[in-house]
Amino acid sequence: MFKVRSSKPVQYTIKEQFNGWSLIEIQHSDLEILDVLINGESIGELVYTGQVYTLKGSQTYGTVLWEPGTWSIWLHENIGVLRARILEEINSPDLSDIDCLKHEYLHTVDRPIHITGYSTSVTGFFANATGPHWFSKADNRNLPYKILDINVDAKALLAECQNFPYQASYTNSWNGRKLLNTRDEAGSECIAADELPETCLELYKQLGWTQAYTFKWLGLEGNSEIRIHRDSGLIGSNPVFSGCNKFYWCINNPPGFMFKMNGVGLLPTHKPLLVNVPRYSHALVNGPEYRHTIESWGD
């Protein structure tokens, strides 16, 4: 039940619902959410996890909608589950700080994704869903991914990486080329950034990195998968290999390609990223087209 202040009638819509979680939306132009009750109990300060989307395209957290748009919030049928989730993932003082929630936290939703044609373990992994999550951007050890603002020629970068000297092979459907002829788990060798090809060097400059530990182009055949794994063999060999530090760019991002992290959800693979593959188990599936990714560890 919603307690609101408004001069107009208020109706809500359930936009998504799974595993006890519901995404509630209210479309309005004159609305203030005063409280939300679940089975008669107030959610209190958790109401500030609601988000406001205006028709002009702005988005923020809050409880007030003074122009045409939508207010939405994730709720759980069990208020105890809801309260535990949010208070574990958002620091209490930050809940009422709209700017902090918007800029200092990454909000993801781990949704059930139903796929066929892949292994039982991978289809089960994608179907499992844990709902909404919030990750502090200041906690690099647990941040699952970071979207990057990179401006390099993707085709030139791909061409340079496809010309790397060494073969990288993992399965019959997942292979490519790599710059250094070392096992990823070693992390003992590196190359200075100024020795990289032109576009690779420009990428490293924009990342602020001066040396590369691994640099690879990896292709994935159509209608294939990368099974559930975690890059835990790197942990401990170098601080670089712990946390959200691996560069990952799916250059062509073909239809049907999906990269899922456990307890996080699908990654926005249409953009260059830093990813936390040592921390989170993950799996990938590809649609009918060939997939190209550029991956690198550096600092």
Same domain, yes or no, for 162 and 41? Answer: no
Query: Would residue 244 count as lying in a domain?
Result: yes
Same domain, yes or no, for 284 and 184? Answer: yes
Domain endpoint, select from 65, 100, 135: 135
Same domain, yes or no, for 235 and 271? Answer: yes
203 has a pLDDT exceeding 60: yes
Query: Would residue 140 count as lying in a domain?
Result: no
Residue labelled with tokens 């988005």:
59
Same domain, yes or no, for 157 and 188? Answer: yes
- Reading the block at residue 154, the tokens are 């993707």
Same domain, yes or no, for 94 and 197? Answer: no
Same domain, yes or no, for 228 and 106? Answer: no
Q: Is-contact 12 26, C-beta < 8 A?
A: yes
Same domain, yes or no, for 156 and 129? Answer: no
R_g of the chain computed on alpha carbons: 22
Same domain, yes or no, for 154 and 118? Answer: no
Q: What is the DSSP string of 179-199?
A: SS-S-TTT----EEGGGS-HH
Domain endpoint, select from 84, 111, 135: 135
- Of 216, 234, 217, 207, nearest in space to 299 by CA: 207
Work out the pLDDT band at 170, boundaries 50, 70, 90. confident
Same domain, yes or no, for 36 and 131? Answer: yes
Same domain, yes or no, for 33 and 153? Answer: no
Q: How much of the chain, in percent, has pLDDT values that exceed 70?
A: 97
Q: Is-contact 297 241, C-beta < 8 A?
A: yes
Q: Quick one: pLDDT at residue 236? A: 65
Report the alpha-carbon distance of residue 111 to residue 144 in Å, rounded. Answer: 16
pTM of the predicted model, to two decimals?
A: 0.94
Q: What is the DSSP string of 216-232?
A: EEEEE-TT-EEEEE--G
Note the pLDDT tens digit of each residue in 87-138: 999 999 999 899 999 999 999 999 999 999 999 999 999 999 999 999 999 9
Same domain, yes or no, for 124 and 159? Answer: no
51 has a pLDDT exceeding 90: yes
Report the alpha-carbon distance of residue 278 to residue 141 in Å, rounded. Answer: 9
Q: Quick one: pLDDT at residue 66? A: 85
Instruction: Give helix 198-207 / helix 154-162 axis angle, nearest 10°.
Output: 120
Q: What is the domain-level CATH number for residue 263?
A: 2.60.120.10
Same domain, yes or no, for 272 and 149? Answer: yes
- Domain that residue 103 falls in: 2-135
Query: Would residue 243 count as lying in a domain?
Result: yes
Note the pLDDT tens digit of each residue in 10-33: 889 999 999 999 999 998 888 899
Q: Quick one: pLDDT at residue 235? A: 65
Domain endpoint, select from 135, 156, 190: 135
CA distances from 214 to 26, 147, 164, 203, 204 (A): 48, 20, 11, 14, 12
Query: Would residue 97 count as lying in a domain?
Result: yes
